Structure 1
């Protein structure tokens, strides 16, 4: 898939999510919050499958596999943290009797943001040398 197709698909998924979010925020609808987040979870599943396919196609021998897993672990960890953040947000919104703190709810997102900053910093340092 080319970059333009990936970008268009990402925008389409975001558009569907925002439409579902607006429909859920209407006072007449009482959908489950997990249903509203389905487009994002489908997108995350496609991302994980895409990364796995990239690992399989680039894997030539066993020594290369370790390098590929180290390289792509950032992507897999990022998607998994995003999914965990979405689940926490859905739990907070859907089951208010759980009384989840907003700080506990946002822990996966904070970890994702910090790890993204570290990843970008490491890439910039490596590219400078």
Structure 2
């Protein structure tokens, strides 16, 4: 699939999701929040299949699809799991009456972990790149 097709498909799902959220928030529909998130679930399912395919190709040792190390691919899988767990917890929190028993902190914990780990990953990549291309004569 060409890059333009992937971009258009992504934008279509995002726009559909935003329309569903607007309809739900304006109380035009009484849909479950799980139904509202269906475009995101579709995108996440395709993303999971792609990540698992990349990991399987790497472990099989056959044709090299990319030069991305296995640690990076496992990081993608962990980030996907944290994102989906946040979405599920958010839908459960919004749909049911657990708001009395469940604090919002527990719903946001996977998102906080994802953002923290993502920030550490960016810092690691920047520092590693800086050390790799550092020229001692610059000082």
Matched, 1:78 2:79: yes
Partner of 2:95: 94
8 A Cα contact 1:59 1:68, kept in partner: no
Counterpart residue number, 2:124 = 122
Distance 1:13 1:28 in 2: 20
List runs of 5+ in structure 2 lacking aligned partners. Answer: 133-139
* Inter-partner Cα distance in structure 1 for 2:28 and 2:12: 25
Unaligned runs of 5+ in 1: none
Match of 2:24 in 1: 24
- Greater Cα radius of gyration, structure 1 or 2: 2
TM-score, reference length from structure 2: 0.79
> After superposition, where does 1:36-51 map in structure 2 within 5 Å?
36-51=36-51
User: In structure 2, how many angstroms separate the alpha carbons of the residues matched to 1:55 and 1:23?
Assistant: 38
In structure 1, the residue corresponding to 2:30 is in which secondary structure? coil
Cα distance in structure 1, aligned partners of 2:13 and 2:59: 30
How far apart are residue 30 of structure 1 and its match? 0.8
Could you tell me the TM-score, scaled by structure 1's length? 0.84
For the residues of structure 2 that align with 1:27 and 1:55, how far apart are their CA atoms?
Answer: 42
Deviations 1:26-74 (A, max 9, x none): 3242111111111111111111111122223344539x9xx84322111
| Segments ≥4 residues shifted beyond 6 Å | none
Higher helix share: 1
Partner of residue 4, structure 2 = 4
* Matched-pair contact (CA < 8 Å) for 2:14–2:40: yes
94 and 122 in structure 1: CA distance in 2 versus 1, 3 angstrom threshold: same
Q: Report the number of matched residues.
A: 126
